[in-house]
Every structure is written in structure tokens, then in C-alpha cells.
Amino acid sequence: MRPSRTGEIRLAFMLLSRLPAGRIEGEAPAMAASSWAWPLVGVAVGAIMALVCGAGLWLGLPPLMAALLTLAAGALATGAMHEDGLADLADGFGGGRDRARKLEIMRDSRVGSYGVVALALALAFRAIGISTLAETGSATAALIGIAAASRAVLPAALVLMPAARADGLGRSAAGADPKPALIAAGIGFLCLLPLGFGTAVVAGAAMALAATLLAGLALRQIGGQTGDVMGAMQQVAEIAGWAVLAASV
């Protein structure tokens, strides 16, 4: 029996979050087949972050403090998996002399100086972006839209990039069918529309460009994508989205 759409959505939540997703009945879907639903995980994570941000502002916290609590809520909801990918990628690309060594460092659970700096900069950038939008009262739509769209760029990497390893998440998630990636891109763009059509176009383009640039770097450094590369792509896409929104305020 063909895996159901519900099973694909549940698998997407299992892969990209720590949120309860129930059990998959029947045949389990392939990771690549579930990738169309990755932006839906972003919607859920973004909604949680928006609730925390709103609660912080309601309690009278300054926007930056509310933004930091918002990022903490997002990290709890996802297990900080995307942040972990960014840190591992920074350590591997910064500290490895060749492809094999870069991949070895990326698989190491320890975080080095490159990873710490990358995480600090990414968190600071996102916190400032969230606080800037919170001051204008439009943080809710931005949190949900950017969380969804930053995950919507990832399925394309599974189609367009080879796996850098013979094992691991990147290998098992790779797929040649472009349909899930196209659906994900459409969902991601729809989630940006509450910010305004023009803003959605510019933000979506900036996020896609950021992910593409990182994909090009990964191809040169290690020859393809891994789970860490995918996590880092989500982070740089999100940062690009916040940059566009903060600049347009």
C-alpha cells in the first residue's frame, strides 16, 4: 500500500522537529517523499515561536529579550537540529584541509571555534531581526512565514545535489523526483504572502539565493549535501529572510 499523505506529514515532523507526530500506519514513506511537507513543520514551529514572542511582549519584556525567548522556544521545538548543522558545517569547512577531513569533522559531535562563532552570529542576527519586526507588531506573520519558507528551500537540494556521503541523512533523503520540491516551494511562498506580495517575492528570492550560495559552497568543499548542509541551508535562508524584512521596516 502506498504511504499516505498523512504519513508523509508525520514523517516530516519526526525528521525536522521534536513535536509529537503520532505513529505512521502502514508502509513508511521515503524521506524525499515527505519533503513537500517540510514547510508545514515550519508553520508549526513558527506558530510556537510567535506565541512565545507575543507572550513575552505582553508581559512587558523588551523586544530583544522577547526575541531571545522566541529563539529558545524554536530550538526546543526542533531540538536545535538546524543550529547544530550550521555549527558542524562551519567547523568542517573552516578546519578541514581536504574533503575527507571536512566530513570527519562535521560528523564529530564536539563544537569548535568556527562553530561557536557561526552560532553566535546567527543567533544574534535572527534575534535582532525578530525584535525589529516585534517593534512594528508584525512579528507573528514574519515568524511563521520565514520558518516555513526557510524549510521550503531544502527539498530542492535533495533533487539538485548529490549526497556527499555513502550513508547518513543526506544519502537516505536524496531523491530525483522534483514534485515534492515544487510543492514545498509553493507552500513556502504562500506562507510569505501575509507579509505582502512584494515583500514575499523579495524575501523568497533572497532566501533561495542564500541557500543556493551555500549549496555551491558545499559542492566545492565536500561534493554534495549532508544533513548538516541541509541544516545550515535552513539557517542561512532564515537569516536572509530576516535581513530583507528588517531592511524594509
What is the pLDDT averaged over residues 92-110? 92
Whole-structure pTM value: 0.92
Predicted pLDDT at 174 = 56
Q: Coil, strand, or helix at residue 225? A: strand
Q: Say if residue 10's pLDDT is above 80.
A: yes
Predicted pLDDT at 230 = 95
The per-residue pLDDT of the chain, averaged, comes to 92
Rounded (10°) angle between helices 63-78 and 38-58: 140
Half-sphere exposure of 189 (CA within 13 A, CB side): 14
The vertex-32 CA angle with 39 and 225, nearest 5°, equals 90
- Greater confidence (1 vs 40) lies with 40
DSSP secondary structure code for residue 28 in this structure: P
User: For 162-188, what is each residue's pLDDT tens digit?
Assistant: 988 876 655 555 556 889 999 999 999
The cell numbers describing 63, all together, are: 523586544
The CA distance from 191 to 142, in Å, is 9
Q: Say if residue 2's pLDDT is above 60.
A: no
Q: Say if residue 48's pLDDT is above 90.
A: yes
Predicted pLDDT at 22 = 80
Q: If pLDDT is split at 50, 70 and 90, which confidence band does 116 have?
A: very high
Q: Say if residue 111's pLDDT is above 50.
A: yes
Share of the chain above pLDDT 90, in %: 80
Q: Which residues pair with 163 in a beta bridge?
A: 225
Phi-psi group of 30: left, alpha or beta (phi > 0 → left; psi -120 to 50 → alpha; rest → beta):
beta
Q: If pLDDT is split at 50, 70 and 90, which confidence band does 12 have?
A: very high
User: For 24-43, what is each residue's pLDDT tens digit?
Assistant: 776 778 888 899 999 999 99
Q: If pLDDT is split at 50, 70 and 90, which confidence band does 70 have?
A: very high
Predicted pLDDT at 137 = 85
Predicted pLDDT at 202 = 98
Share of the chain above pLDDT 70, in %: 94
Q: If pLDDT is split at 50, 70 and 90, which confidence band does 1 have?
A: very low
What is the pLDDT averaged over residues 127-138? 94
The CA distance from 223 to 5, in Å, is 32
